[in-house]
Amino acid sequence: MKVSIKGVRGSIPTSSPETSYYGGNTSCVTVVEDDWMLILDAGSGMQKAKLPEKPTNRIDILLTHLHFDHIQALGFFGSLFDPNKEVHIWGPESATQSLNSRLNKFLSPPLFPVLMRDLPCTLVLHDISNSSFEIGPFSIESRYVIHPGPTVGYRIKGNHAVVAFIPDHEPALGPSGIIPDKKWISGFDIVENADLLIHDAQYTGYEYKEKTGWGHSSMEDAIKLASIAAVKRLLFFHHDPSRTDEQLEVIFSKLKQTDFGFDDFDFAREGMEIDLG
């Protein structure tokens, strides 16, 4: 299983020499195994997603939620305009509107020039909740997690490894932070014993004190979650768009000097590729 990081930022893309190392595109990750590819989120990093070398007529896009930084490149994805492609889009079920209805608000004028119903590909939409499903060699579980609006995290099991993807998540929401009891931890079923966890870490612990309830995690809480869940490796994701490469390096150095009882963590960078299994 190969995991490729295409976009790492939260909220809005950034473009400057000060963010070129970690990257400035918003959320997108690809997972490939046996010539099957999953695209996780459709942020601006999706423009870098390349289809497997072996020709395929089916594409699967798994959306964690529909905030703009996670769907803003969807309308520019070339396979949507290929009549030979079958594109499956998976996204969290809402109690009020279907996935089709909500995506139509974005993929239609005046926000986008092409109506979703006019796309030439064969488009299949899947409303998911706390679901389990199969795509090619992948066994996938989705679970609702704490973030404003319907939001899911994904647990993706391949032939030899498990990847957990929760780019927007507030696992410590409450008066006492993370409760060390797995039945009360949002997203625990998704991350437990994962070989790789890609997780929201937008804020430092100090910053999080002023951002409680915003739907995002501190870096320290992401580490606590990974430790409690016996995750093998943690990648910080959803970097704050105002954060420069230099600032991230300073924060990383301070975190590495702290004894958390878990030290296999790193900041996700655009272009990073990880082979699992």
- Checking if the pLDDT of 277 tops 90, the result is no
C-alpha 173/C-alpha 82 separation (Å) is 43
Per-residue pLDDT tens digits for 29-51: 999 998 899 999 999 999 999 88
Domains annotated for the chain, with CATH where assigned, are 2-275 (3.60.15.10)
Per-residue pLDDT tens digits for 103-153: 999 999 999 999 999 999 999 999 999 999 999 999 999 999 999 999 999
Per-residue pLDDT tens digits for 211-254: 999 999 999 999 999 999 999 999 999 999 999 999 999 999 99
* Range list of H helices, the chain: 99-106, 188-191, 205-208, 219-228, 245-256
Per-residue pLDDT tens digits for 156-205: 999 999 999 999 999 987 777 888 788 889 999 999 999 999 999 999 99
Per-residue pLDDT tens digits for 12-22: 999 899 999 99
Tell me what pLDDT residue 137 has. 95
136 φψ region: left (φ > 0), alpha (ψ -120 to 50), beta (else): left
Other CB atoms within a 10 A radius of the CB of residue 110 amount to 5
Tell me what pLDDT residue 38 has. 97
Tell me what pLDDT residue 274 has. 97
Q: What are phi and psi of 50, to 5 degrees?
A: -105, 135
Tell me what pLDDT residue 183 has. 86
